[in-house]
Amino acid sequence: MRPDIALDERLVKKAMKLSRTRTKKELVNQARKEFVEDRKQLNLTDLAGKIGFAKDYNYKALRTAK
């Protein structure tokens, strides 16, 4: 069964131009793939306060070590 969805044609045309896709099906599949990939990425702000550093950790020393 094919889903019947209403799409904003102006937005579809812009998206197809930006993504260089040729069909609406290809555009929708690419958009779904990118949506899933984006949601899988860890939001770095969620890590705030959850990472413990060693007390003797010196980030400045690492900048000059070469």
* Residue 49 falls inside a structural domain: yes
Q: How many domains does the structure of the chain reveal? A: 1
Which residue range is the domain that position 54 belongs to?
Answer: 9-64
Given this model, what pLDDT does residue 65 score? 59
Measure Cα distances from 42 to 5, 47, 52, 53 in Å. Answer: 30, 9, 18, 20
CA distance linking residue 27 with residue 47, whole number of Å: 33
* Residue 28 falls inside a structural domain: yes
Q: Which two tokens stand for residue 7?
A: 């799409």
Which pTM was predicted? 0.59
For residues 7 and 24, is the Cβ–Cβ distance under 8 A? Answer: yes
Compute the C-alpha angle 13/37/50, nearest 5°: 140
pLDDT single digits (tens) 32-59? 999 988 888 767 778 778 888 888 888 8
* Residue 1 falls inside a structural domain: no
Given this model, what pLDDT does residue 15 score? 96
* Residue 22 falls inside a structural domain: yes
